[in-house]
Structure 1
Amino acid sequence: MLLDTYGRRAVDLRVSLTDRCNLRCTYCMPEEGLSWLGKPDLLTDEEIVRLVALAVGSLGVREVRFTGGEPLLRPGLVPIVAACAALEPRPDLSLTTNGIGLARVAGALRDAGIDRVNVSLDTLDPGTFARLTRRRRHQDVLDGLAAAEAAGLRPVKLNTVLMRGVNDHEAADLLAWAVEHGYQLRFIEQMPLDAQHGWDRTRMVTAEEILDLLRARFALTPEPAARGAAPAERWLVDGGPATVGVIASVTRPFCRACDRTRLTADGQVRNCLFATGETDLRGAMRDGADDAELAELWRAAMWGKKAGAGIDQPEFHQPERPMSAIGG
């Protein structure tokens, strides 16, 4: 198992398939983009499957989420999913995407074994979308959502980041739209993971502010089901069955229940989203390490996990890698 000194067990693996993205969201990266990893630095499809198989077969991982960058840009995505779906025991498989291109591959992903998708959507307004992402692809995202629903990748989840003075006025409209379409909406506090290192806590829309914006139109009651290790606090909307979630990584950190381990596109294990250190599995693997040696490296990486991310501490330092290079 992947245990740490605080008794937490990592059963949820986030696998970044690429650091590349076809959007340039203002809260994530600069307009000109970033210096992408070269192909030799990336894990091959076979290396990804080997490490996922190790995590599932030997380390107790039960859930695997493919992320990016934008994972739909990975040419071998569908075969990777199919190979991971064939593992025993079969892990729960999901995908986090910006939705661009999802309409073309939703059916193939379902057939390969993806169980559900999370799609990023910060606005219902095409103009605001263009300003936020620096791309005019709003309709492509809506088409991708519809295709995922039609393919049976349910529940289709929406991830939304609210920014003060930009799209925070849309909070209730986004929830009404999500409920109408049967999507599960989750608002995420903006985190200090931008490539520009320009995050400003005073400009972040907090969980409490998000809930106040929603309560102006909806009755919210805490979901009775236990939260467990889920990152989102969830509320019933107008008595249910629809729900809305808020991931308050900054103001209400949930580190004590964290059950995640992360693998970057270049084969580094990260024991926390905000970790400042990594463990290199790619180098060890290419130097001939067997599965037992790789498993021991992975266990050691997780054993050293800190009690919390420490965002509220004066000594907190933002990771050098931005979110696009870490994986969500």
Structure 2
Amino acid sequence: MRTINTDLRDTFGRKHDYLRLSITDSCNFRCLYCMPDEPFTCTSSSEQMSNEEIFEISKVFVERFNINKIRITGGEPLVRNGFSTIIEKLASLNINIALTTNGVLLHKYFDLFQKLGIKDLNISIDSLDRSKFKHITKRDQFQNVWNNITESIDRGFNVKLNVVVMRGFNDNEIAAFTALSYQYPIEVRFIEFMPFSENAWEKDKVISIAEMLRIISEYHDYYKVQDNIHDTSRKYKINDKSKGFFAFISTMSHSFCEGCNRIRLTSDGKMKNCLFGADEFDLLKMFREGKDIENSIQKGILKKHKEKGGQFSDLETVCSKELVNRSMIKIGG
């Protein structure tokens, strides 16, 4: 007899209805905040979820636990072999499908996304300067990414630009990025630099939301926009003539753990109940052994900590050398 659908709630009463699904830990960029320096070894294809396993495990989350949104991440998801097949199968689940990408290959998939009704694109871009873009990504692809951003906007996609802000690298571009939210119907999201395994994180490189707002106030007036309970970003608008918004993902200085509704599944089939959590639950191993993964999913959610994986509480309590976690690319954006 089929079990009745149930919501996934942790011990703090938070309902989880949003799956962040990594389909690869391979990437055509080498951003230092996301992955260790080259050489970097990707997970072998035999250890990664197959196309069918991605669909079947995702289906359990949707049909058993009322997940209503899946965001596909990587690495860079568009480099995954069989990407079109994966996204077509996931779209058949009749839920909101979104994508996080570095944007360089987007032009190959615009038509497919529009055919499947996929509207939400988060595109990472950490500098508007070609030389700095090349420095951070180790690839000279700024113009290709920018062309795909503007085409995404022209085609009517819901575009969010993800900008990881690091002191001494791109903090002098905050005002220029903010100005894009006046010109284009997008959300420009400034992300505080976060610590992961071997990503050269330093506390002094983090620029808090308060400091970024001070910088912006020197160039633009702005006002606060109402946020939803599950929003990771805090939104602002320059003025009523602005076509878009600018926002902050202030994980380090002003967390949003209280309203978290997210679960993560890595490309090798491990469920993580928190981006910073050390706990992992091997759903792929159980699935391949023909075991019921539903119980492990529920147990995994019940082990979720109140904030930041139980490893730190705020910027001042972080000791990056003591954190137990993967590199960002191994988790999924």
Flag whether TM exceeds 0.5 (same fold).
yes
Report what 2:288 is aligned to: 286
Q: 2:14 & 2:237 partners in 1: Cα distance?
A: 28
Report what 1:232 is aligned to: 233
Q: Which runs of 4+ in 1 moved over 3 A?
A: 313-317
User: For the Cα contact (< 8 Å) 2:182–2:243, is it kept in 1?
Assistant: no
Once the 2 structures are TM-superposed, how far is the Cα of residue 241 of structure 1 from its aligned partner?
A: 5.2
| Matched AA of 1:192 | P
Normalised by the length of structure 2, the TM-score is 0.92
Q: 1:77 & 1:112 partners in 2: Cα distance?
A: 13
User: How many residue pairs get matched?
Assistant: 320
Q: 2:210 & 2:168 partners in 1: Cα distance?
A: 16
Of 12, 15, 22, the residue aligned with 2:18 is 12
Q: 1:230 & 1:320 partners in 2: Cα distance?
A: 24
Report what 1:73 is aligned to: 79
Report what 2:302 is aligned to: 303
1:82 aligned onto 2:81: no
Q: 2:318 & 2:150 partners in 1: Cα distance?
A: 44
User: For the Cα contact (< 8 Å) 2:184–2:244, is it kept in 1?
Assistant: no
User: For the Cα contact (< 8 Å) 1:65–1:94, is it kept in 2?
Assistant: yes
Tell me the secondary structure at the aligned position of residue 29 of structure 2.
coil
User: For the Cα contact (< 8 Å) 1:78–1:109, is it kept in 2?
Assistant: no
Report what 1:130 is aligned to: 134
Tell me the secondary structure at the aligned position of residue 156 of structure 1.
strand
User: For the Cα contact (< 8 Å) 1:102–1:147, is it kept in 2?
Assistant: no
Q: Identity of aligned pairs, percent?
A: 32
Cα gap change, 1:319 to 1:113, in 2 (>3 Å): farther
Provide Cα deviations, 1:208-242, integer angstroms capped at 9, x if missing partner: 1111111111112111x342111001112224553
| Matched AA of 2:126 | D
Report what 1:159 is aligned to: 162
Deviates more, 1:16-25 or 1:230-239: 230-239
Q: 1:71 & 1:33 partners in 2: Cα distance?
A: 20
Alignment gaps of 5+ in structure 1? none
Once the 2 structures are TM-superposed, how far is the Cα of residue 128 of structure 1 from its aligned partner?
A: 0.8
**RMSD of aligned alpha carbons:** 1.6
Cα gap change, 1:119 to 1:181, in 2 (>3 Å): same
Alignment gaps of 5+ in structure 2? 1-6
Once the 2 structures are TM-superposed, how far is the Cα of residue 117 of structure 1 from its aligned partner?
A: 0.4
| Matched AA of 2:307 | G
User: For the Cα contact (< 8 Å) 2:36–2:199, is it kept in 1?
Assistant: no
Q: 2:98 & 2:150 partners in 1: Cα distance?
A: 17
Deviates more, 1:178-187 or 1:164-173: 178-187
Report what 1:169 is aligned to: 172
Q: 1:74 & 1:314 partners in 2: Cα distance?
A: 34
Q: 1:33 & 1:92 partners in 2: Cα distance?
A: 36
Report what 2:67 is aligned to: 61
Deviates more, 1:174-183 or 1:270-279: 174-183
